[in-house]
Amino acid sequence: MQEEIFGPVLPIVPVKNADEAINFINEREKPLALYVFSHNNELIKRMIDETFSGGVTGNDVIMHFTLNSLPFGGVGWILLKNDPIQPLLLNIPL
């Protein structure tokens, strides 16, 4: 994942554990959005606390985009709501 994706493509990055996921995120440019799926709420909170992105959503993909009261965009630059987003989905073993 080196370029911004403009299209109906959802990259899924398999990782062995939460530490590897956090390192993967923090070693790259900050993602526009981060979606974490887990039955473990502490894991979701940890991902929020230990990473930095334009926005984080736990166990959902649409809420972040549809709530007008929430900010939507990148980190350090402005992204309009109707611009494409590049989500990063992490496959963390439960």
pLDDT tens figures, 3-50: 777 777 777 888 999 999 999 999 988 887 888 888 999 999 999 999
Spell out the domains of the chain, with CATH numbers in brackets.
Answer: 12-91 (3.40.309.10)
As a whole number of angstroms, the distance between CA 94 and CA 49 comes to 19
DSSP letter for each residue of 1-69: --S---SS---EEE-SSHHHHHHHHHTSSPPSEEEE--S-HHHHHHHHHH---S-EEES-SSHHHH-TT
pTM of the model: 0.67
